[in-house]
Amino acid sequence: MEITLIFLALLMAFVVGWLIKQSINTRPWAEEGVIGYDHAGGPLSWPAKKVGLAAFLAVVTSLFMLFFSAYNLRREYPDWAALNDPDILWLSTLLLLLASVFYQKASNAAKRSEESGIRVGLVMAGVFTFCFLAGQVWAWQIIHEQGAFLASNPANAFFYILTGLHALHILGGLWVWGRSTIKVWSGEEAYKVRLSVELCSVYWHFLLVLWLIMFYLLLST
């Protein structure tokens, strides 16, 4: 339980640290959709998209913290039967890590206005993300074939709910990834997609940290 709380604190620190970094480093005159004004009447360094992502990450963090807390409490009951986690989850972890790495490469390329680097980074990030989702489907099939059905045990139910909820957030991110990728491959200039790529990379890093916490919980039971 203590280790789980530490991981959750690190996740929250990741979100807060990113927000602080954005508020310090962002140049309001170079961003679109700036929200708010300071005491002198000038625009604050908070683009609308960053504010939206910040709020969304805070909500998602709170949601998963509730699920993780419920998971830790429920597994103390005598009817909890530990699930035999498929080995494919290790491969899934590696795939999501690689997706996060390539998204960071795309973000770095966008900052340097290297359109070819953005294209490669986005494509590879997408490929590894889709492979991650395929690995999740494979894992569900494996435990289903083992007789670990949703309603047969609380541990099974939590496995499906947690991994399914995480996959749902991955799918939401892929929608934004698809829009950014189409823009880049259609000849959109790098500076016009820089913010979108940067925010997506942050979102992928967030999903990776979230998955690592979840993976630890699943392995620990």
The predicted model gives 2-26 an average pLDDT of 54
Backbone φ, ψ for residue 99 (5° rounding) = -60, -40
pLDDT tens digits for range 65-117: 888 888 888 888 887 877 788 889 999 999 999 999 999 999 999 989 888 89
Judged by DSSP in three states, 153 sits in coil
Q: Cβ atoms within 10 A of the Cβ of 104, count?
A: 18
Q: What is the mean pLDDT of residues 20-34?
A: 44
List of domains in the chain: 2-220 (1.20.120.80)
SS3 32: coil
For residue 43, list its beta bridge partners.
Answer: 37
**Which letter does DSSP use for residue 69 in this model?**
H
The residues near 130 (Cβ < 8 Å, ≥ 6 apart) are 174
Contact 190, 115 (CB under 8 A): yes
Predicted pLDDT of residue 11? 59
Cα 104 to the center of its chain, rounded Å: 13
Q: Write the pLDDT tens digit of every residue in 145-203.
A: 887 676 678 888 888 899 999 999 999 999 989 988 998 888 878 778 888 899 999 99
Find, among 97, 98, 95, 181, the residue nearest to 138 by Cα: 95
Residues 201-210 have a mean pLDDT of 92
Using the Cα atoms of residue 5, residue 10, residue 11 and residue 16 in order, give the sign of their dihedral: positive
Of residues 124, 106, 126, 123, the one with CA closest to residue 194: 106
Question: What angle separates helix 48-74 from helix 190-220, to the nearest 10 degrees?
Answer: 10
pLDDT of residue 127: 96
